[in-house]
Structure 1
Amino acid sequence: MSHRYATFIKAINLSIDYVVLNVSMILAYLIVDKSYIIWINNKNYLPIVLVFNLIWLLSANITRFYEQVLTKDSIHTYRGVFKTYLLFLSLICFTVLIIIGTKAYYITRQYLFYSLALFAILLGLWKLIFLAIRKSDRALLTDFRKAVIIGAGRIGTDLYNFINYNPERGYKIVGFFDDNTPIANVSLYLGHTDECIQYVKSHNIDEIFCTLPNSQSDKIEQLMMAADQNLIRFKLVPEFYYTHRPTFVQNFGHIPVISIRPEPLENMLNRFFKRLFDMAFSLFIILFVFSWLFPIMAILIKLSSPGPVFFVQKRSGRDNLAFNCYKFRSMQVNTDSDNKQATRGDARITKIGAFMRRTNLDELPQFVNVLLGNMTVVGPRPHMLKHTEEYSKLIDKFMVRHFLKPGITGWAQVNGLRGETKTTADMLQRVEADVWYLENWSFLLDLKIIFLTFWGTVKGDKNAF
């Protein structure tokens, strides 16, 4: 499948799914409602429409429903439909029946049943139609463009191998042009660079990829101008790049600047919305959970062992600045807390402490850290200062995680990378997950991580001890 169609088809899928969802709600309204008020004028009905739409977006994001819509076969497509619909159904029931309530908006259980049932049926039928259309038009979507590569060195060979192993990008490499006959890919050698434009014109080649080094800038400029004059797309591959990872290119005027990783939270608007959510969420937890749970936990902690209710420890924060991290004390007071990690069966952990650690209740005071601004709800977990110093010498990318504020939960934690790190390899996995989060942050990803954290707490985590 051509990579050029992926975003378009994904947008079409998402849009029609929303049409199906809202049509289902309208039909259910017409079937159940006896007030004869036109649905669009019913102010009690419209908030529920918004809730349904937002929850479908969240469910689809959690299950990655709209990824690879062009390449997933029918079994994987319907498996995705089933998983996403079940999650959607669960979140709707939880949100509408438990949090919002049905009386406030005069929404009956009968309406919920009809709307959800109609949505399931219509969604299943639409996906069947989509698969049929995709199968019949697969040849149209496979819009391969013929291309040549100027430069048969390391960069040109890497580019050829990538395109060869990723046909969904929509390119077919015809061959190479280079002033020196390449040792590798000799069968694909088409001639010297001066012969390229003529060959491209006579063989209806669509695009040219130029991988020549900067030392040949004059020749690159000549080829670029010739391609423009002959209506040929010319793409320049920079001489310097990281072979092991994607890069992020910004333009400073006419100067391209390559960043070794994207950082969505460097955008001030993204950072503002994340901070706004942090404050709202932490205030909600402190007012409606921490306020009544704190006296209970304080009594239980005091009864379990002598010492303070809170455990305060210096941790590494954003830009590696130390801050006081607050937790409910889950261990007996000891002199090893700043040097030794908790282990399975650790004798220092009290009985109530073991329960708090399994259910993550010991982390609850960190919402105060979030309000103070030295932590966030979702981000890399903060480490002891000693561990930061030790692992920064052992793992190359360890300090990258400190570009972000530390979080109460994170991508590493919901993927099972929590608890004791027995080896450097264990810490490396956690760091890679934290760096992935830094590069791929989105608000919906934060919501997904919060949901998975809650779900993990309910079902239990073998690494929580």
Structure 2
Amino acid sequence: MKNKTGRYSAYIRPFSYVLDLAIINLLSHLMLSDVVYSLYFAVFISISWVIIALNIGFYEVYRFTKVVSIGNKILKQLLLYTIVCYAFLGLYIKDYNPIETIQYTVLSVFLISCFKLFIYYFLRKYRTLYGGNFRKVVLLGSPKRVAQLAAFFEDNPDYGYQLIQTFSTESDKKAAIESCCNFVKENQIDEIYCSLFDLSNTEVNDIIDFADNNLKILKFLPDNKEFFARNLKLDYYGYIPILSLRNIPLDDIINQMIKRTFDIVFSLFIIVFVLSWLTPILAIFIKSESKGPVFFTQKRNGLNYKEFNCYKFRSMRLNKIADIEQVSKNDPRITRIGRFLRKSSIDELPQFINVFLGEMSVVGPRPHMVSHTEMYARKVDKFMVRHFIKPGITGLAQTNGFRGEVENDKDIIYRVKYDIFYMENWSLLLDIKIIFMTFINAVKGEEKAY
């Protein structure tokens, strides 16, 4: 169950609407020419702003919302609001200055974002310093399963959660549930967190009934043995509720357009300003050390398990097992120039051609050799889920230490874990953060870059 209101949400959100509408209307009056500004334009942009905000959840910011998520909402609001303004002017105004319009939309969203982030950080500071705007919570479950969440509440007071009591289900589960419910009623507890692993279906339903009847927020911790995220999505077929296993942001057409536009611009920049001069230079070094082509082409699995040719600068001598055996540390097949290319990740740069062609994305799950994909699919649960989105040159797993050779089961299991988390929590800002971290890691050098 999702918390929809905070302590001051009833006041903050209406205030935000009024403030934001005041900003966009005041700036439109001050910045736009008399040809553009009119009462009709003011009404249009006000209605458009609210509709866009409601559709992308611009004001859906909670105490547990990450800054990256807020930034993603801001970028979406800016993009869509700018498009709507241009659409209106294109239809009804013949002579208008497009630069003036973009300056207006950017400044409007910038000021609104500043106020939005100020309120967000002010509340976090207020909770830490004065203990205000907090929600009282209790935990129900075995100590070992709720310990991590208990530690999170204790270590992060700025989120505004005050852990009051923990009820252990290890000895007498029935008594623990009863004590928890009585404690919640008597002490004005706001939220209850339960470990699903420790409760039967009947007990879960009883706690849900108790929470509903007493107007308490109820949330569940999944089995901590199950490391894959559960980003469930609720839809309605008529009046029938249908629960989907996961919600993938990149299934949304707008998100697809944003990511694809970013991929095209970024890959084109690398192809024109880096590969155009770097390729001839590297070709001389690669060919002088070993016979064979400059580029190494390998079949890999991409979106929806479809095979494609993945390009790299050749870093090994020609060998018959290149498509079967993964590169290992001190592999004799690697040339001297190849060792440098792999250590610096320069060998991956030709994959920007794959990105430009639409076969890959700049950021996404790293594609594996076809033979390895088939092997991991049989060996690792949910491995195939990674193929719901395009593979990437870099990814969340790679920036968290799981790149290169798969030396044990942990390497591939955690790689899948991070890939699924990325898929279910994608945002443009997360992509930018991953690209930045990849660049930093490449400069510093990574242990598994060989």
> Shorter-normalised TM-score: what interval?
0.5 to 0.7
Residue in structure 2 matched with residue 35 of structure 1 by the alignment: none
Q: Does 1:233 align with 2:215?
A: yes
Residue in structure 1 matched with residue 109 of structure 2 by the alignment: none
Q: Which runs of 5+ in 1 are unaligned?
A: 16-39, 42-65, 71-127, 150-155, 176-181
Q: Encode CA deviations 1:366-400: one digit per residue, 9 max, x unaligned.
A: 11101111100011111001101111111102111
Q: Are the aligned partners of 2:136 and 2:164 in contact in 1 as well (CA < 8 Å)?
A: yes
Instruction: Report SS of the residue matched to 1:354.
Output: helix
Residue in structure 1 matched with residue 91 of structure 2 by the alignment: none
Q: Encode CA deviations 1:67-123: one digit per residue, 9 max, x unaligned.
A: 9899xxxxxxxxxxxxxxxxxxxxxxxxxxxxxxxxxxxxxxxxxxxxxxxxxxxxx
Residue in structure 2 matched with residue 443 of structure 1 by the alignment: 428
Q: Does 1:189 align with 2:183?
A: no
Q: Does 1:142 align with 2:131?
A: no
Map of 1:191-340 to 2, 5 A cutoff?
Answer: 227=213, 232-233=214-215, 244=226, 245-252=229-236, 254-340=239-325
Q: Distance in 1 between matches of 2:349 and 2:358?
A: 15
Instruction: Report SS of the residue matched to 1:383.
Output: coil
Q: Are the aligned partners of 1:328 and 1:363 in contact in 2 as well (CA < 8 Å)?
A: yes
Q: Are the aligned partners of 1:282 and 1:367 in contact in 2 as well (CA < 8 Å)?
A: yes
One-letter identity of the residue aligned with 1:325 = C
Cα gap change, 1:301 to 1:213, in 2 (>3 Å): closer
Q: Does 1:405 align with 2:390?
A: yes
Q: Are the aligned partners of 1:330 and 1:354 in contact in 2 as well (CA < 8 Å)?
A: yes
Residue in structure 2 matched with residue 20 of structure 1 by the alignment: none
Q: Are the aligned partners of 1:314 and 1:324 in contact in 2 as well (CA < 8 Å)?
A: yes
Q: Encode CA deviations 1:278-335: one digit per residue, 9 max, x unaligned.
A: 0000001101111111111112211111111111110011111111111111111110
The percentage of counterpart residues that share the same residue type is 40
One-letter identity of the residue aligned with 1:341 = Q
Cα gap change, 1:449 to 1:223, in 2 (>3 Å): closer
Q: Distance in 2 between matches of 1:403 and 1:202?
A: 45
Residue in structure 2 matched with residue 350 of structure 1 by the alignment: 335
Instruction: Report SS of the residue matched to 1:233.
Output: coil
Q: Encode CA deviations 1:166-208: one digit per residue, 9 max, x unaligned.
A: 7664686899xxxxxx9524266379xxxx9xx9999696779
Cα gap change, 1:173 to 1:283, in 2 (>3 Å): same
Q: Encode CA deviations 1:221-268: one digit per residue, 9 max, x unaligned.
A: 99899x5xxxx5266889x97674544232315444333333221222
Structure number, greater radius of gyration: 1
Instruction: Report SS of the residue matched to 1:444.
Output: helix
Q: Distance in 1 between matches of 2:204 and 2:177?
A: 22
One-letter identity of the residue aligned with 1:250 = L
One-letter identity of the residue aligned with 2:215 = R
Following superposition, the deviation at residue 460 of structure 1 comes to 1.3
Q: Distance in 2 between matches of 1:323 and 1:274?
A: 20
Instruction: Report SS of the residue matched to 1:141.
Output: coil
Q: Are the aligned partners of 1:208 and 1:233 in contact in 2 as well (CA < 8 Å)?
A: no
Report the TM-score when normalising by structure 2: 0.60
Q: Does 1:432 align with 2:417?
A: yes
Cα gap change, 1:344 to 1:285, in 2 (>3 Å): same
Q: Distance in 1 between matches of 2:329 and 2:376?
A: 21
Q: Distance in 1 between matches of 2:272 and 2:8?
A: 42
Cα gap change, 1:223 to 1:368, in 2 (>3 Å): closer
Name which of 336, 359, 368 aligns with 1:383. 368
Q: Which runs of 5+ in 2 are unaligned?
A: 17-29, 32-60, 66-120, 154-159
One-letter identity of the residue aligned with 1:144 = K
Instruction: Report SS of the residue matched to 2:173.
Output: coil
Q: Does 1:365 align with 2:357?
A: no
Following superposition, the deviation at residue 458 of structure 1 comes to 1.4
Q: Distance in 1 between matches of 2:384 and 2:402?
A: 18
Q: Are the aligned partners of 2:363 and 2:431 in contact in 1 as well (CA < 8 Å)?
A: yes
Map of 1:168-179 to 2, 5 A cutoff?
Answer: 169=161
Instruction: Report SS of the residue matched to 1:463.
Output: coil
Instruction: Report SS of the residue matched to 2:286.
Output: helix
Q: Are the aligned partners of 1:6 and 1:69 in contact in 2 as well (CA < 8 Å)?
A: no
Map of 1:79-94 to 2, 5 A cutoff?
Answer: none
Q: Does 1:393 align with 2:393?
A: no
Cα gap change, 1:431 to 1:459, in 2 (>3 Å): same
